[in-house]
Amino acid sequence: METNLSKGSIRRRSVLVAVITAVACSMGLTGLASGRDSNQARSQRPDPSSVNWLQFDFNAQHSGNNTDEKKIGRENVDRLHELYHVSLPDVADGAPVYLSNVQTLYGVMNVLYLTTKDGHIVALDAATGKIIWEHQYGPGTFKINNRYQPIYTTSSPAIDPDLKYVYSYGLDGYVHKYKVGDGEEIRSGGWPELCTLKPFNEKGSSALAVATAKDRTSYLYVTNGGYLGDRGDYQGHVTTINLSTGKQYVFNANCSNDAVHFVERPGKPDCSAVQSAIWARPGVIYDPATDRVYMATGNGTFDPKRHDWGDTIFSLKPNGTGVDGNPIDSYTPANHHFLNRADLDLGSTAPAILPTPTDCSIRNLAVQGGKDMKLRLVNLADLSGHHNSPGHVGGEIGKLIDVPQGGMVFTQPAVWVNPEDHSTWVFVATFGGLSALKLQVGQHGVPTLRLVWKNGDEGSSPIIANNVLYCAGSHDVRAFAPTTGKVLWQSRSIGRIHWESPIVVNGELYITDESGYLTAYGL
């Protein structure tokens, strides 16, 4: 079950798109957003060296590590200051994505894209926060479980590898495709693409994810779970869309032998088992070393004979298919019955791939958090230790590790290689604080994670950029020295935080909050 730990206020504001004259076009957009400063347009000339942030946590591995950032580093991060603080049409309970040098109706701009809880996709000038274009596929008459408040999403958008399109989850049960510059929606070749026939029971919680497989085919991944309370007829599933052909494949975490979108009972097709939501922040992880995608499920029945995969990490081919109606491989904790009964979702986060050390002594490792406040090391090349045979229990590497700072893990860890000694690190944030753990080889050659430092400051999904660690909590965003935890910079000008997390790209930091604002910082 997904847990709502913040009830931040939702600020709605109508955004009027001004008629832009030829003179205004040459100067940028005017009058579309308010800020704490004058919010005047800053120069944005095309920069071929600019970096893009195309999906949640930067890349298809969702490492949270922008190794291409060059403008902000340890020597100048303390000079960050607020550039603007602008209101959005609704709360964007996720993270922005960023595309540089976009040809818009108003000239070449760096552009931020956000998905809001009420179904907006919003494109904003990254220099000013002013809205360039927007669309909404709102809740309409849909209510949660057909009886509660209007449905919503906590998803984040993703940008196509060819940089021409941005994808966003709509509350109509479809994922939509838009041109990055003017927002024109593509309505051919299978688009918009169906991702649930039960939008009143099945929520798009996770960010959209894009990966390009070894055969150079690119795919979009859309995951679904349930709403708060685990009520209603829902099944966790992932919809994989071939971005070249528009063909899609559905893999259900319950009744996985049925590769279809289920309908609400008593309609057919449906599955008697429910839950097993896929709701971790990144949704789907792609590992280029194994050429597979991985995801983790929440509480639900684990019964391989009935093709039910609750509280499980499982792998699929990049096109979203398994073998004979099952995953390629799976990992399920031996205490899965307890996790299910206690609502301690293994899949409250997704596997975080640990970079291979330079001596290649440890390969294919990932760390998996959970609501049980444990960290597990798993082998992505053989999840349960049974030679890629799904359906077994146990198989994690070494002992389970207590989350050092305490707290359930709802965030995606960030991973990093220290350039000074090439050691591998992982940073885990919870509502109990932030911890830094270092990968090492323990007794008998078994890898483990050793705590280096921790603090007690709540945090959302941390990120790394140019060897600086960033993490946001309610009313607070900080930069840290990753090896010591020393605070290098701090701002207290944001609102409350739920799933929101920052991005750092091209010398600027962007973050949304539960008050419905986007805040930008720069040098």
The SS3 assignment for 318 reads coil
C-beta of residue 506 within 8 angstroms of C-beta of residue 520:
no
Q: Are 206 and 212 in contact (CB under 8 A)?
A: no
Q: Do residues 254 and 226 touch, judged by C-beta distance below 8 A?
A: no
Q: For the chain, how far is it from start to end, CA to CA, in angstroms?
A: 41
pLDDT confidence of residue 27:
35
Residue that has been written with the tokens 């995608």 in this structure: 293
| 373-410 tens-digit pLDDT | 999 999 999 999 999 999 999 999 999 999 999 999 99
Phi–psi pair at 519, nearest 5 degrees: -120, 135
CATH architecture of 22-522: 8 Propeller (2.140)
Q: What is the pLDDT of residue 224?
A: 98
pTM of the model: 0.92
CA torsion 448-450-456-458 (nearest 10°) is: -40
Give dist(CA 132, CA 92) in Å, integer.
17
Beta-carbon contacts of 460 under 8 Å, excluding residues fewer than 6 positions away, are 411, 429, 471, 472, 473, 497, 498, 499, 500, 501
**DSSP 3-state of 338:** helix
For the chain, the farthest-separated pair of C-alpha atoms sits apart, in whole angstroms, at 71
Give the separation between CA 99 and CA 114, rounded to whole angstroms: 12
Q: How far is residue 234's CA from residue 218's CA, in Å, rounded to a whole number?
A: 28
Give ∠ CA 70-92-177 in degrees, rounded to 5.
85
The identity of residue 169, as a single letter, is Y
**What is the C-alpha to C-alpha distance for residues 507 and 371, in angstroms, rounded to an integer?**
35
pLDDT value, residue 356 = 81
Dig out the tokens for 391 from the structure: 């359906």
pLDDT for res 53: 98
Look-up: residue for tokens 């009964």?
341
Q: What is the pLDDT of residue 10?
A: 33
Which phi and psi (to 5°) does residue 347 adopt? -90, 30
What is the C-alpha to C-alpha distance for residues 255 and 303, in angstroms, rounded to an integer?
Answer: 10
Rounded to whole angstroms, the Cα distance separating 484 from 66 reads 20
pLDDT of residue 46: 62
Which segments of the chain have a pLDDT < 70? Answer: 3-46, 48, 358-361
Domain ranges of the chain: 22-522
Q: What is the pLDDT of residues 188-216, one digit of tens each?
A: 999 999 999 999 999 999 999 999 999 99
Ranges assigned E (strand) in 20-138? 65-66, 81-87, 97-104, 107-115, 120-125, 131-136
Task: Return the pLDDT at 33.
Answer: 35
